[in-house]
Amino acid sequence: MDGVVLVLNQNYEPLNVCNLPRAFRMVFGERAEVLEYDHQSIRTPRAEYRAPAVIRLQHQIHRPRPRVKLTRREVFARDGHTCQYCGRKGVELTLDHVVPRHRGGSDTWDNLVTACKACNHRKGSKLLDEARLRLARRPFEPRCDVYSVFTPYLRDDRNESWRSYLFLGH
Ligand SMILES: [Zn+2]
C-alpha cells in the first residue's frame, strides 16, 4: 500500500498529506469522505477497496494560519530588494522602521521596510512627514505560500486528481 492522499478540511481547504493506511482509517472511522479515488485497489482477504486519492474531513479543523517569519531576508524579498523610499535597487539595503522604535514603532511587518543607506540616513529618527519621505506602498504581512507544500506531489502522475482541489479559487 503505497501512495499518498491529499486531506482537505471540511471547507475544502487543503490541510495536509497522509499515507494510505491513515486515509483508510479516517474514511472507515467516518471522519473523512472520499472525493477522488486512486487507480489502485487494495485487497484484503475479505474484500477489495479502491484507494482514495483525495479525502475531505467531516468536521472542520481549526489551525492557526501559517505565517511567514519576520526576518530581514523576508522583508527584503517582500519589497523586491528595492528601497521603499527612492526605488533604488541593487544598492546596499537596510531595514528601516517607518515609525522609529523610540517613538513607539515596533518590529512588525507593517512597520518595517527596505531602505537604502541614504534614505535610511535621511529618515533617521523622524516620522515620514518630518523627513518628507513617502513609501512606495504600504508595508504588509506577506501571505504564506501553503501551496508550496503540495505542489511537489503533482510531479507524480498518480496525484493528478489533486490538481483541481489545490487550485480551487486560485
Ligand atoms: Zn533609498
Per-residue pLDDT, 169: 53
Q: What's the rounded Cα separation, in Å, for the pair 28 and 35?
A: 14
Q: 72-131, which class in CATH?
A: mainly alpha
Domain boundaries, the chain: 4-64+145-166, 72-131
Chunked mean pLDDT (size 10), the chain, 170 residues: 90 92 95 92 88 96 86 96 96 96 96 97 95 96 83 89 78
Q: 104 C-alpha vs ligand 1 centroid, how far in Å?
A: 23
Q: What's the rounded Cα separation, in Å, for the pair 100 and 39?
A: 59
Per-residue pLDDT, 140: 96
Q: 115 C-alpha vs ligand 1 centroid, how far in Å?
A: 5
Q: 114 C-alpha vs ligand 1 centroid, how far in Å?
A: 9
Q: 91 C-alpha vs ligand 1 centroid, how far in Å?
A: 9
Q: 37 C-alpha vs ligand 1 centroid, how far in Å?
A: 55
Q: 5 C-alpha vs ligand 1 centroid, how far in Å?
A: 48
Q: Which three cell numbers stand for residue 154?
A: 503533482
Q: 142 C-alpha vs ligand 1 centroid, how far in Å?
A: 22
Q: What's the rounded Cα separation, in Å, for the pair 122 and 126?
A: 9
